Amino acid sequence: MEKLLALMLVLTLMTVSCGKSGGGSSSQESTADTVTTDNGTSTPVTTPEANSTVPAAALSFKTNVGYLSGFAAADEAKYNQAVAIVKKVVATEAFRTRVLNFTYSGSKAFVQNNGLTNEQIYQDILEAAETLTPAKNNTLDVGVKLYYEASTIVGYTSGSITFINVNTKFFNTYSANEVAGNLFHEWLHKLGYVHDSAATARRPYSVPYAIGYIIRDLGKSFI
Ligand SMILES: [Zn+2]
């Protein structure tokens, strides 16, 4: 256990940059300013279906997303839509099922899963205790900074900051469900999940990539 904690500490100290596909292995320095404002968005709580097995914490899942810099009005509108999609997807039975039944190489598990089962990772998401703001508040807490860079990096963050950096090169062309997937990917780093920086064969099966893709794919139906 101490070993795992030590490893997690080392990993969270590393900067994670998240490439679109291959080659995105350059790491980036993060700025030290960590001010988070609360101008987040919210959507109504979804009513469960009669035979739903979705836990209450999935239906009550909240978001607290601060737009810290680089946002024009149109960017805010687009990000609001993405945040709303995240909430809607998390509240679905399909999301629960996709996470619980996820397999890699014949095993019901994610790659680089921090020693957790699929069920534990699902609970971890619903508890939403970010490493730097560890209250189990059932709320996705994160700040977002938009920036532009001519690179393959879609966005990046590091273990020492409470916000994520999102490259407008991709954000501007992304549909709202793709932005939602990227937001969730970066936020999963805030929960302490990591992935290979190089585009390895296993990287798509890591928690940030795999669950980010699940949000993106299921989010299509909420556009
Ligand atoms: Zn990443």
DSSP per residue, 5-24:
HHHHHHHHHSEEEEESSTT-
Give Cβ neighbours of residue 118 (< 8 Å, ≥ 6 apart).
Answer: 99, 100, 101, 102, 108, 109, 110
State in Å: Cα 24 to ligand 1 middle. 10
pLDDT of residue 164: 98
The candidate with the shortest Cα–Cα distance to 178, out of 75, 79, 63, is 79
The kind and range of the H/E element at 153 are: strand 153-158
At 35, the pLDDT band (50, 70, 90 cuts) reads very low
What mean pLDDT is predicted for residues 143-155?
A: 96
At 29, the pLDDT band (50, 70, 90 cuts) reads very low
At 41, the pLDDT band (50, 70, 90 cuts) reads very low
Number of domains in the chain: 1
State in Å: Cα 44 to ligand 1 middle. 29
What mean pLDDT is predicted for residues 14-20?
A: 66
pLDDT of residue 24: 34
State in Å: Cα 154 to ligand 1 middle. 9
Percent of the chain whose pLDDT exceeds 70? 78
State in Å: Cα 125 to ligand 1 middle. 16
State in Å: Cα 183 to ligand 1 middle. 10
Give the domain range for residue 167. 2-222
Percent of the chain whose pLDDT exceeds 90? 76
State in Å: Cα 49 to ligand 1 middle. 34
pLDDT of residue 109: 98
What mean pLDDT is predicted for residues 199-207?
A: 98
What mean pLDDT is predicted for residues 89-110?
A: 98
Query: Is the confidence at residue 136, as pLDDT, over 70?
Result: yes
State in Å: Cα 64 to ligand 1 middle. 20
What mean pLDDT is predicted for residues 79-96?
A: 98
pLDDT of residue 13: 43
State in Å: Cα 91 to ligand 1 middle. 23
Query: Is the confidence at residue 22, as pLDDT, over 90?
Result: no
Query: Is the confidence at residue 166, as pLDDT, over 80?
Result: yes
pLDDT of residue 207: 98
State in Å: Cα 182 to ligand 1 middle. 9
Residue 35 or 97, more confident: 97
State in Å: Cα 41 to ligand 1 middle. 23
Query: Is the confidence at residue 202, as pLDDT, over 80?
Result: yes
pLDDT of residue 52: 72
State in Å: Cα 195 to ligand 1 middle. 6
State in Å: Cα 48 to ligand 1 middle. 32
Assess contact for 84 and 41: CB atoms under 8 A: yes
Give Cβ neighbours of residue 18 (< 8 Å, ≥ 6 apart).
Answer: 24, 153, 154, 155, 156, 182, 185, 186, 195, 208
State in Å: Cα 58 to ligand 1 middle. 23
Domain of 124, CATH number, reads: 3.40.390
Give Cβ neighbours of residue 173 (< 8 Å, ≥ 6 apart).
Answer: none
State in Å: Cα 160 to ligand 1 middle. 15
pLDDT of residue 17: 73
pLDDT of residue 18: 79
Q: Residues whose CB is under 5 A from ligand 1 (ion)?
A: 16, 18, 208
State in Å: Cα 57 to ligand 1 middle. 25
What mean pLDDT is predicted for residues 4-31?
A: 45
